[in-house]
Structure 1
Amino acid sequence: MSTLVQNLLPPRLGAGFRWLAASSWSTNLGDGIAAAAGPLLVASLTDGPFLISMAALLTWAPPLLFGLYAGVLSDRYDRRRIVLAANALRLVVLFAMVVGLSTGRLTVASALLGLGLISTAEVFADNTTGTLAPMLVHRDDLGLANTRLQAGFITLNQLAGPPIGAALFAAGRVWPFATEVLLVAAGMLLISRVRLPPHGRRAAGPGTTTGVRREIAEGFRWVLHHPPVRTLCLTILVFNVTFGAAWSVLVLYASDRLGLGEIGFGLITTVSAVGGMLGTGAYGWLTARFSLGNLMRTGLVIEVLVHLTLAATSSPWIAMPIFFVFGGYAFVWGTISTTVRQRAVPEHLQGRVNGVNTICVYGGLVVGSAFGGTLATHYGVAAPFWVAFAGSAVFVAVLWKSLADIAHGR
């Protein structure tokens, strides 16, 4: 066991990062369980399509509404305490839902309120957790540290969590949420063991709206005046618009275009996650042999070709390997972009720049999803993939020369 820990979390990453990784893995498993159990819970309480769709909306809205403010708080105050406070809120809400389910008094309105509060607390926990690795790990080891965190996200949040959540829900509606209570509590205990260097500051008038606006503006100004990070955020925004347009109709694409049905749609997610696991193993080998700039260029070209191939094919035998490749690419590119951003951003601005990045991620997905749904309605389920191909190809051509500078933070 000690040898496995040594290989997975080398001593040079430090004891603090080991506690951070263990906490992240625990809460990621809980989040994966909730990703399946939350919608199933709402669907068990109502058959109204609008209320059921609200469960999905409540996972997208909080990052857009609170991402920037979460960044301000994580730059002002003790980051470990913020993570603990956010997870404590999740724990209280989950416990209340468990009690409601156990007594038969949980209504659809209270379930939606609970899911919304949990998603909101998760925004603050995730934003702040994203600032901790640069405080605990040497700059040169950030890539390795991020692969370990991302590996936990893929294997526990995406692969293991959802089927466990569905199985627990089938055994009884209360069980997935009771399990998440235990996992969040474990995550809190583990993160409490982390010791951070001195950080945080109380800005003048921290409770005032003006102070919050000023600090958010400072984060935006830093991004705008730092060309590599500015271009990186713009890339994430544009590519999430094209990605969101195509992936918003993925369930229809799987059933109508590939003829796979509901089981096949779940298989797509699994295949992509397995590709992500391959990317986890290959990340160190790739970064040791190729420059980050070339890897970023190659990754964006892969995404362009993914959209093109999926737009053109109707064969699941072609599409499935493409989803596998896409999963591997998405992990490697996401890890590189996170590492580049963490290396470039000053410690006291990490939270606010994370907030700007969050707005780009979710803003792009929301816009893309609305665009993709409209295209599919009027022009067929393949149309969003064709548009995603064209849009991403144009942007890669425009961005091509700048990617090397982005990767090296110049």
Structure 2
Amino acid sequence: MASAIKAKLTGGSAANDADLQEERDKYRLLVTAGPSYDEKTHKTVKVNSEIPTTIENEFLTAKINVRVKGFRGLPNTSPSTSKDYFDDPMHAKDQYSLGFSFVPKQDIPSVDTVWGNDFDHSIKDKIPPGFNTAFKIVKEFIDPGLSCDAYADQPWLYGPSLSCWFALRIGEKVNEGEDFPTPGVMTEGADGTGKDLRERLGLPENNEKRRKYFLDAKHRQPVFFEKGRCYQGDFYNPYLDFGNFSLKLPGFTLKVIKYVGDKTHCLRYVFKNRETGDMYFNVNFKLLWGEELQKALTADQKEQASSERDSGIGFQDQASDGATDGASNGVAASPSTSGEPQAVPTNDTNDESTRHTAPPTMQLHPGDHNAAAAVASAGSSTSDPDVDEIDRLLQQTSTSQKRSGLFLDEID
């Protein structure tokens, strides 16, 4: 009897996995970066490549590197991972990284610069069950500096840039027209004259203390990004699994693909000034579907064929290489997919992106939790009408699935 029940459960799970796989195969991820919201100014980012995407506007010049574990997207010659990055012990659990270097063309006050996500349209009817609980977890255990208004006509989720970035390096001055470092696997710190600058500003030496320090606006007020100096940052975490289109929070995994529907969606990251609206750079993670995916596949094939003609490399050779290839520096004071276009469903396309006071805790590295699931479930009960899907999932999480970690309130 027990074996029969087990077989039935296993069979059901396998069927669900097959359904999710079929649903997932309808989509491809495309990452673009640009100096503004206008997608006409954007360039395609070669995910998991060590070759950065360079963008420029009136405020700065920036280099962008995006790394995604288990990447399934365009260009279809992109490696499925970045071994140099994800094999590093510090990033073994991370699912993606958005790394960048930039050199300002003018002094940029840091106090109102933010990092986060926003949208140019309402998403009220698309907010999934469990959003409020998920945001509570993120704010309390991951980044207490975050603020959010998901119900606005133009929703947003921002945090102070200097407290959001998990790594920050202050570097050397760069003469106009000179090259500057590409964002690699970086650690908190400084290079050259950036070391003296960091000392003069009294910045904490490690990332968790620096992030906690800059939660306070009075610490950001006298700090600006200095004209002509190189800065490097890295934003990474294990929560968004772009390879499987999943959200991974303490103790459970939510298959986001079940909720997105047959549409194109866009998650955009921005580095901007919240008060003036000045945009420094914008990186879009676009989940393509339908007619938009069809066009992107065709364009990608043409681009690949053009590159092969220019380089004299045969199509089959480059396709094979693409399928198997795996793929610091200042703050101053004052699926692989088939190359053939695929027949896909078509439909209209739509893009997808309560303020709260900041709790006192923030973790050293995203993904290491100290009973986050237990805290979330303890605050709810089965009789509470506000208990949502994520609350129930948290309550069902076994203690063996929960991870412990170091929080900023434990740091001297």
TM-score grouping bracket, smaller chain normalisation: under 0.3
The structure number with the bigger radius of gyration is 2
Structure with larger RCO (C-alpha < 8 A, sep 6+): 1
TM-score (norm 1): 0.26
Q: Which has more helix, going by share of residues?
A: 1
TM-score (norm 2): 0.26
